[in-house]
Amino acid sequence: MQVAVLLLLVAALCSATLALDNGEMRVPPMGWLAWERFRCDLDCEHDPKNCISENLFIDMADRLAEDGWRELGYVYVNIDDCWSSMKRDEKGRLQADPKRFPRGIKELARYMHARGLKLGLYGDMGTHTCGGYPGTTLDNIDLDAQTFADWEVDMFKFDGCYSNATEQEQGYPLMSKALNATGRPIGYSCSWPAYQGGLPPKVNYTELGQICNLWRNYGDIQDSWDSVLNIINWFFENQDVLAPAAGPGKWNDPDMLIVGDFGLSMDQSRAQMALWAIMAAPLFMSNDLRTISSGARTILQNKMAIIINQDPMGVQGRRLVKEKIGIDVFWRPLSKNASALVFFSRRTDMPYRYQTSLSKLNYTAGSYEIYDVFTGKSMALKDSAPFVVSVNPTGVVMWHVSAPAKWNPRHFYKASVCVYTANRYDLNEEV
């Protein structure tokens, strides 16, 4: 296990200087995002509580501020598509829809700031947004970046509908420079890799980390377990490429948390929360915080899951084991020689009793303190002691593992050059 830790640390340290230099999002950002739950609902006459309007975002800001979310780190309130007028103003600037956002984006941002929150806004580098609203073409990038800064926006998501690969290659770096040139710290979310298949050679993750704070790699999440599972499969099947790209200030984004919506059971909701924490993923909820169930709230407000997600070392976790019986084991190294483990069941029949030991997962000799993230129970466990975890169908068991008092690594690794090769080691073998 210590070989894995050291190699991942080398990768993280070597890439640290290649992150976007705007000081933003040194840990994965957390908050609320409208899209998955509320989409492009424009019917404010018949559906005033759920349409895309300033009232919806004020309601969610109030819930974040008053219901314990803000104190846990959920501070962003993010507007997605369909917020703008269909036309730019007389000076060529984007403008909010005057009926649905009568006070404008700047006043909405100030409402957030007065409550210790931040405002995120959406745009698109094509001729139109995905919903058909005015886009930010190459000739409008500087103007729009300054407009967002003038509005006191804290985060900007740049989508890629109605643009081609050449325009994206120019536009995403140009927007990064334009946002920085405003002098206002604005976290920058890029959809670029999702439009280029998410993988090299079309996606250059070294370059991406220099211009974006986070990026969407894959398709949009939907309110279903199949959608969540597809995302999990893609991210961990490609972990050798994706994990080294992530770190403080630059994050892979597997898309929104749909915990509290309609498509997931409680076990599946815990699974999404656990695996997003293992991936060091941004935690943007897309649900209705006004009516969320107590069960969903408990999952999303789980303090240890959030601590794991927000670990300042910023190393993205990996899948260690994929068993033919339908059990996967995931691991993430954390600060202070701690780590996190997730035992995940792909089975759909009944709870499965999975037996292993910490030594089989390549933990070094010693006694460890185990904290079960979702039950709150603790125990001491020696590395050599066999244990059994009972994992519900499509569910997880998640552990925080504290390091032994004395660390005696079985391996020694000396890095003479700053190079990371994903397949350099096998977690089941000594090197």
What is the distance between the alpha carbons of residues 343 and 321, in angstroms, rounded to a whole number? 9
Q: Which H helix or E strand runs over 209?
A: helix 205-211
Tell me how many degrees the CA angle 386-394-300 measures, rounded to the nearest 5: 95
Tell me how many degrees the CA angle 351-330-425 measures, rounded to the nearest 5: 140
Q: What is the DSSP letter of 410?
A: S
What is the distance between the alpha carbons of residues 401 and 369, in angstroms, rounded to a whole number? 6
Q: What is the DSSP letter of 220?
A: P
What is the distance between the alpha carbons of residues 74 and 386, in angstroms, rounded to a whole number? 38
What is the distance between the alpha carbons of residues 413 and 406, in angstroms, rounded to a whole number? 18
Name all contacts of 13-17 with Cβ < 8 Å and 24+ positions apart: 13/418, 14/418, 14/419, 14/420, 15/206, 15/209, 15/244, 15/245, 15/247, 15/250, 15/420, 16/247, 16/248
Query: What is the C-alpha radius of gyration for the chain, rounded to an integer number of angstroms?
Result: 22
Cβ proximity of 249 and 213 under 8 Å: yes
Cβ proximity of 28 and 254 under 8 Å: no
What is the distance between the alpha carbons of residues 50 and 57, in angstroms, rounded to a whole number? 10
> Which member of 159, 255, 288, 311 is catalytic?
159
Cβ neighbours of 365 (radius 10 Å)? 14
CA dihedral sign, ordered 33, 35, 41, 47: negative
Q: Is 62 a catalytic residue?
A: no
Q: Is 220 a catalytic residue?
A: yes
> Which member of 62, 220, 223, 267 is catalytic?
220
Which value, to the nearest 10 degrees, does the dihedral of the CA atoms of residues 68, 71, 72, 77 take?
80
Indicate which residues carry an active-site annotation: 159, 220
